[in-house]
Structure 1
Amino acid sequence: MSLPYFDYCQQLEQKLRIEEPLMEQAGRWIATQIRLGGCLHIFASRTLQGVAYEFWQQCPKILPSQLIEHPAAGIYETLEGTGHAIIEQINTHPEDIFLLLSNEGRNPAIIELAEWIKAQGHLLIVITGFDLSRSIKSRHSSGLRLYEYADLVLDNYATLGDAVLTLPKFELAICGTASLATQVLLQQIVYFAVLHLFESH
């Protein structure tokens, strides 16, 4: 029996490897801000909340981090104005750096958060489905999407509906990879961040 999902993931891995310079840069930026006394703040859209939580739980103590909670489990993220409920829970210092995760990057809540982050002068790293996000319309009145606020964008190659395989003879798309790709990118960023921190000592 063939393993089409494994085959797809193998191809995806090759695409992600191309982003090595961006992962290294993200790690370097995080390490720099941590050395200055900053904290890594992490927030994810509803579909990537589990990834964000796992990443935050596994973050080594050498990388001070804070998970930003999504009010009401993110069910209102498509409504303009809901980003303010997210922002109200954040306590920051000038040296802090932010990491936002969203496959589509078009919902008002995360866009309003990104706008606030940049208004405060913080560095912003975004993981998103870059081609997907560019191909769809923003749900925010500004017309902007998340990646347009980012200082650095990494691509998780998310597809619309996050279904990458079809069953022969059936009109059914199944099997997502966005969470897997996002976690791989995050873990490699952590590796680079810790490496840069130790090299600076």
Structure 2
Amino acid sequence: MAEPQLSAARFADESRAAADRAIEANKATVAAAARLFADCVAADGVVHGFGTGHSQATVLEIVGRAGGLIPTNRIGLADLVLRGGEDRSVLADPLLERSPGLARRLYELAAPHPQDLFVIVSNSGVNNSVIDMALLVKEAGHPLIALTSLTHTRAVPALHPSGEHLADLADAVLDNCAPAGDALLPLPDGGALCGVSTITSALLVQMVVAEAVGLLTAEGRQAPVYISANLPGGYERNALLEEHYAGRLHRGGF
């Protein structure tokens, strides 16, 4: 009997194949991104992660998680309320991420140092706020890593007045190898089911972190890494290491 086109087993097989493609396609880029991470940490910098919509799930793989780097900061729309003094009602606007000046305000609230690194996540790589942030980051001289689907971004026109896609602006581009539209399993009446970008993007982030910490260790540098706050003494140890970056690390976002 043929395997059903819509099944857990089919998605597992397809997502495993996507992960294998991502690993193979990003060997050189993972190494380049890891070098940027390592240089940032060695220079006492902070890695800033930014994404909107579901891309925030990948930002959470970069920022403030057990087994990840401590000098990491999450930039999100909720920063406007949490640190920017806006009323929380502003977050109810479904078109907030398209607001003119939004990226600049979020950048200013992050208050990055010159040696800081940015990772911007967007599956399509065309949303205005993402491009605005990327342009600001490059204008300020920060290194930029893009995490995107090259298949998707090459299939759609640029929406930003600059005519740029996120991948055009980055120093290193990690391709999550998701299909256009993200979902893997075609539905009988059109469309598709089960997005894969979060799986492959998380894999690439962890590969970059592993490689970066390997570089730092080989160079005789200590890499500040979180351990689980749910292990004995974990919270206290993490808090002690975070003190070095006081005022530069934020875990909020939306």
Q: Tell me, yes or no, whether TM beats 0.5.
A: yes
1:108 aligned to 2:128? yes
Q: Which residue does the alignment assign to 2:27?
A: 20
Indicate the SS of the match to 2:63: helix
Distance 1:128 1:54 in 2: 15
Indicate the SS of the match to 1:100: strand
* Superposed displacement of residue 127, structure 1: 0.4
1:51 aligned to 2:71? no
Indicate the SS of the match to 1:41: strand
Instruction: Give the fraction of aligned pairs with identical amino acids, expressed as a percent.
Output: 28
Letter in 2 for 1:109: S
Q: Which residue does the alignment assign to 1:148?
A: 168
- Cα 1:107–1:195 change in 2 (3 A) is same
Instruction: Give the conservation status (yes or no) of the 8 Å contact 1:114–1:146.
Output: yes
Instruction: Give the conservation status (yes or no) of the 8 Å contact 1:69–1:86.
Output: yes
Distance 2:100 2:112 in 1: 23
* Superposed displacement of residue 23, structure 1: 0.9
1:4 aligned to 2:10? yes
Structure 1: tracts of 5 or more residues without a match: none
| Bigger Cα Rg | 2
Letter in 1 for 2:196: T
* Superposed displacement of residue 134, structure 1: 1.9
Distance 1:99 1:184 in 2: 15
Distance 1:80 1:132 in 2: 25
Distance 1:170 1:55 in 2: 37
* Superposed displacement of residue 79, structure 1: 4.1
Instruction: Give the conservation status (yes or no) of the 8 Å contact 1:59–1:65.
Output: no
Distance 1:42 1:81 in 2: 19
Instruction: Give the conservation status (yes or no) of the 8 Å contact 1:83–1:108.
Output: no
Indicate the SS of the match to 2:97: coil
Instruction: Give the conservation status (yes or no) of the 8 Å contact 1:48–1:101.
Output: yes
Q: Which residue does the alignment assign to 2:46?
A: 39
Structure 2: tracts of 5 or more residues without a match: 79-90, 221-254
1:194 aligned to 2:203? no
After TM superposition, the structure 1 = structure 2 runs for residues 154-193 of structure 1, keeping only pairs within 5 Å, are 154-167=174-187, 169-193=188-212
Length-normalised TM-score, structure 2: 0.72
Length-normalised TM-score, structure 1: 0.90
* Superposed displacement of residue 100, structure 1: 0.7
* Superposed displacement of residue 27, structure 1: 1.1
- Cα 1:59–1:134 change in 2 (3 A) is farther
* Superposed displacement of residue 54, structure 1: 4.1
* Superposed displacement of residue 160, structure 1: 3.2
Distance 1:161 1:12 in 2: 14
1:123 aligned to 2:143? yes
